[in-house]
Amino acid sequence: MTPSFRIASLLDKQPIGQAVEINGWVRTRRDSKDFSFLEINDGSCLRNLQVIVEAGLANYQQEVLRLSTGCSVRVRGMLAASPAKGQSVELKAAEIWVYGWADPETYPLQKKRHSFEFLREIAHLRPRTNSLGAVARVRSALSFAVHRFFQERGFQYVHTPIITTSDCEGAGEMFTVTALDLDNLPRKEGRTDFGQDFFGRQASLTVSGQLEAEIYCLALGQVYTFGPTFRAENSNTSRHLAEFWMIEPEMAFCDLAQDMAVAEEFIKYLVRHARENCAEDLNLFAGFVDKNLPARLEAVLSQDFARITYSEAVERLLASGRNFSYPVAWGADLQSEHERYLCEELFQGPLIVYDYPREIKPFYMRVNDDGKTVAAMDILVPGIGEIVGGSQREERYEVLLARLQELGLNQADYEWYLDLRRYGSVPHSGFGLGFERLIQFVSGMANIREVIPFPRTPGAAAF
């Protein structure tokens, strides 16, 4: 029986002179006088395998000459050194079996470059292209690297709920999950009565697994989550999705400085992993997507991330002499243009800004000794902006309670969260990293819709 190979391993091992079998999709066919060239791709790597089909093959006239982009085939034959430039080995076909045809009159993918906007409309076919196939492999490799990084360091993987009833970050941005009859909603005091709903109260898709991760952090020490997250914000940009994947480590006995150190190490680990395991794919991005990609990734690995406090950032912005559209003032959140200036011009590389004013940050962030700031940090990277947001959590019961009241939140909703501070509370910290933004950063892909297989954005949830 002929041994079957994935093209990646065939090109790696190069068993010249051996009979082999490959299965894949035709990328292109070129005919010569007495034979044809087929380029076969099976998704195992970016590269195609060149197949030589002699005109004497049984089904040459009837089938081989009809093969076009997208057809699926099995090829058995002899691997040989290639006499021509462009490839070191090629497969001399002894047998071609056509699994499925792809009518060239209607098959949308052509032997030419397509715009990403067009490919988005055919999300069921776009992974068959070089660039989207490469993105898919990089995404898979980075997913694996995420787990490896944390597992190597003794973190436990925690599955936090997708459906949640804790609306800790503001209700307006959440998707409601309901089993109620939408054409006949039960009403109570002028509003929908969620008491009659499946969970007995209003439930939503999670916007963050952090609060639940804290529970397991304060039992297992070091944990991380890696799962889908949902935001019903009507934001239409190249770096927002309604459904995206987020990684949220949470560490006990850990302060903000350690939190920042882990985040920096994590990002560097992922970049290094991609460079070492997806070199071919990254090379494609460097050639066709973002010329500066290699230099940018090198810069991430070769230098320490700059760290400045929010207050220092404000000073730098004020001293820049720039005329920003939004005024710079202590107490106001940094705008995109401010972050851009700091990250892309002033520091020209990843930058960590920390110790933000308490007024612009959520209740759970730890209040610093100055009483004015909280132990929060954002990591900004060139081209994308915020890729990580994290903080040391408020572990002091009285301070946390005061913060809840200060922000007008309903204490009853947070009793379990307060319990974590009533019983055996410890300093702890964590952060959230947007997985798609990381892939954008590592691949150079400009639009976040290209780095997730099936993007969900306002008005778009096809496939």
Can you give the binding site for RNA, defined by CB under 7 A?
A: 28, 30-33, 37, 39, 50, 52, 68-69, 82-87, 90, 104-105, 108, 110-115, 117-118, 120, 173, 208, 231, 233-242, 244, 246, 326, 333, 335-337, 340, 385-389, 432-434, 436-437, 446-449, 457-460
Give the shortest CB-193-to-RNA separation in angstroms: 28
Given the complex with RNA, which of 5 and 244 has the nearer CB atom? 244
Given the complex with RNA, which of 304 and 333 has the nearer CB atom? 333
- Reduced to 3 states (helix: H, G, I; strand: E, B; else coil), residue 317 is helix
Give the shortest CB-29-to-RNA separation in angstroms: 8
Give the shortest CB-198-to-RNA separation in angstroms: 26
- Reduced to 3 states (helix: H, G, I; strand: E, B; else coil), residue 454 is coil
Angstrom distance (rounded) from CA 184 to CA 407? 35
β pairing state of 222-230 and 385-392:
unpaired
Give the shortest CB-338-to-RNA separation in angstroms: 8
- Reduced to 3 states (helix: H, G, I; strand: E, B; else coil), residue 229 is strand
Q: What does the DSSP 8-state code read for residue 426?
A: -
Give CA separation, 447 vs 99, 116, 289, 443, in Å. 35, 9, 11, 11
Give the shortest CB-266-to-RNA separation in angstroms: 12
| Run of H or E residues at 427 | none
**Bridge partner list, 402:** none
Given the complex with RNA, which of 130 and 277 has the nearer CB atom? 130
Given the complex with RNA, which of 236 and 303 has the nearer CB atom? 236
Given the complex with RNA, which of 218 and 387 has the nearer CB atom? 387
Given the complex with RNA, which of 67 and 197 has the nearer CB atom? 67
Q: What does the DSSP 8-state code read for residue 367?
A: B
Q: Which residues contact 336 (CB under 8 A, 6 or more apart)?
A: 385
- Reduced to 3 states (helix: H, G, I; strand: E, B; else coil), residue 77 is strand
Given the complex with RNA, which of 155 and 356 has the nearer CB atom? 356
The 8 Å CB, 24+ separation contacts for 27-30 are 27/69, 27/111, 28/69, 28/111, 29/64, 29/67, 29/68
Given the complex with RNA, which of 197 and 428 has the nearer CB atom? 428
383: left (phi over 0), alpha (psi -120 to 50) or beta: left
Rounded to 10 degrees, the C-alpha dihedral 159/162/164/167 comes to 100
Give the shortest CB-174-to-RNA separation in angstroms: 12
Give the shortest CB-167-to-RNA separation in angstroms: 14
Give CA separation, 222 vs 38, 87, 196, 238, in Å. 52, 48, 38, 33
Give the shortest CB-330-to-RNA separation in angstroms: 16
Given the complex with RNA, which of 350 and 434 has the nearer CB atom? 434
Angstrom distance (rounded) from CA 46 to CA 289? 15
Give the shortest CB-238-to-RNA separation in angstroms: 4
Give the shortest CB-30-to-RNA separation in angstroms: 4
The one-letter amino acid at 175: F
Given the complex with RNA, which of 114 and 153 has the nearer CB atom? 114
Contact 260, 236 (CB under 8 A): no
**Which two tokens mark 207?**
């916007």
The one-letter amino acid at 158: V
β pairing state of 4-5 and 176-177:
unpaired
Given the complex with RNA, which of 197 and 313 has the nearer CB atom? 313
Give the shortest CB-146-to-RNA separation in angstroms: 14
Angstrom distance (rounded) from CA 57 to CA 63? 10
Helix axes 293-302, 279-288, angle to 10 degrees: 130
Angstrom distance (rounded) from CA 105 to CA 103? 5
